[in-house]
């Protein structure tokens, strides 16, 4: 797995432009500065065979949400990230890239990119298959979700409203 990075985005017109790394050098954990609390980011890239790395990604997301002051989103966000990243790794020949952003409005948006143009579809609950229910969870638990087709694949995303 490419190292997971957490960062805060510099404010427009501020002294710093672009993303600023907010990893604590002592703990390796994400930390927002008081100047950058308006928006916090987590980024990770996983290779096609890195299913075991999904657990590490969940753990990092939980830590980041706690550090960003939104621990109430962690349980649902972890579950939905697991579903989307696992789907991307199982159903495509390439890896997946995750970007999670907690905005100033305390809304979490998570995007999972892959290089497949094949659209995911929720499996009907009546089907007898033992897998394929992940998108039903996303649909039930996310405040919003969707898929954006791009020239180089697709982005499957969800949003959770924080308090």
User: Of all residues in the chain, what percent carry a pLDDT higher than 70?
Assistant: 69
In angstroms, rounded to a whole number, what is the distance separating the alpha carbons of residues 115 and 9?
A: 26
Max mean pLDDT among 15-24, 85-94, 114-123 falls in 85-94
pTM of the model: 0.75
pLDDT confidence of 95, banded at 50, 70, 90? Answer: very high
**Which residue, 77, 66, 61, 35, is CA-closest to 161?**
77
Domain 5-161: CATH architecture, name and number where available? 2-Layer Sandwich (3.30)
Least confident of 49-53, 133-137, 141-145: 133-137
Average pLDDT, the chain: 79
pLDDT at 39: 67
pLDDT greater than 60 at residue 56: yes
């Amino acid at each position: 797995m490419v190292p997971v990075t957490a960062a805060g985005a510099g404010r427009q017109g501020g002294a710093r432009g672009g993303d600023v790394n907010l990893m604590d050098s002592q703990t390796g954990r994400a930390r927002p500065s008081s100047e950058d609390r308006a928006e916090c980011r987590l980024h990770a890239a996983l290779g096609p065979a890195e299913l075991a790395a999904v657990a590490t990604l969940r753990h990092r997301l939980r830590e980041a949400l706690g550090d960003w002051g939104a621990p109430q989103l962690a349980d649902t966000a972890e579950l939905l990230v697991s579903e989307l990243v696992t789907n991307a790794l199982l159903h495509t020949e390439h890896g997946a890239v995750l970007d999670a952003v907690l905005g100033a409005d305390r809304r979490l948006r998570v995007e999972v990119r892959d290089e497949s143009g094949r659209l995911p579809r929720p499996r009907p609950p009546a089907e007898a298959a033992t897998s394929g229910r992940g998108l039903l969870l996303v649909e039930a638990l996310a405040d919003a979700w969707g898929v954006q087709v791009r020239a180089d694949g697709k982005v499957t995303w969800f949003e959770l409203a924080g308090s």
